[in-house]
Amino acid sequence: MQKITGIKAISFDADRTLWDYEKSMRLSLLGTLKELEKLDPKSASMLDVEKMINIQKEVAHKITREELNLKEIRHESFRRALEHTGRANNVLAAHLNNMYFKYRAVSVDAYDDVSETLHILKKSYVLCMVSNGNTAPDVCRLSDMFSFVIFSDECGIRKPDAKIFNMALEKAGCKKDEFLHVGDSLEDDVLGAVNAGIKSVWLNRDRVKNVTDIKPSYEISNLSELIDMLS
What is the domain extent for residue 90? 22-107
User: What pLDDT is stored for residue 1 in this prediction?
Assistant: 72
Assess whether 98 and 151 both reside in one domain.
no
Query: Which amino acid does the sequence have at 99?
Result: M
Q: How many domains does the chain have?
A: 2
Q: What angle do CA 209, 211, 214 make, to 5 degrees?
A: 110
Count Cβ atoms within 10 A of the Cβ of residue 102 and give its class: 0-12 exposed, 13-18 middle, 19 or more buried. middle
Mean pLDDT of 77-91: 96
User: What pLDDT is stored for residue 69 in this prediction?
Assistant: 82
The answer to whether residue 192 is domain-embedded is yes
Residue 120's contacts (CB-CB under 8 Å, 6 or more residues apart) are 227
Assess whether 127 and 13 both reside in one domain.
yes
Choose between 68 and 163: higher pLDDT. 163
Last residue in a domain, options 107, 127, 161: 107
Following DSSP, what letter does each residue of 104-123 receive, concatenated?
Answer: HHHH--B-TTHHHHHHHHHT
pLDDT in tens, 25-83: 999 999 999 999 999 999 999 999 999 999 999 998 876 555 558 889 999 999 999 99
Assess whether 98 and 145 both reside in one domain.
no
Mean pLDDT of 173-197: 98
Assess whether 184 and 207 both reside in one domain.
yes
- Candidate ranges 68-72, 118-122, 136-140, 152-156; pick with highest mean pLDDT: 118-122
Mean pLDDT of 138-147: 92
Mean pLDDT of 98-112: 94
Assess whether 100 and 120 both reside in one domain.
no
User: What pLDDT is stored for residue 137 in this prediction?
Assistant: 94
Taking the CB of residue 42, how many other CB atoms lie within 10 A of it? 11
User: What pLDDT is stored for residue 77 in this prediction?
Assistant: 96
Torsion sign across C-alpha atoms 41, 43, 48, 53: negative
Last residue in a domain, options 62, 82, 107: 107
Mean pLDDT of 12-31: 96
Whole-number percent of the chain with pLDDT over 90: 89
* Residues 47/81, Cβ–Cβ less than 8 Å: yes
Q: Is the overall model pTM greater than 0.85, yes or no?
A: yes
User: What pLDDT is stored for residue 68 in this prediction?
Assistant: 58
The CATH number of whichever domain residue 198 belongs to comes to 3.40.50.1000
Last residue in a domain, options 64, 82, 107: 107
Assess whether 221 and 124 both reside in one domain.
yes
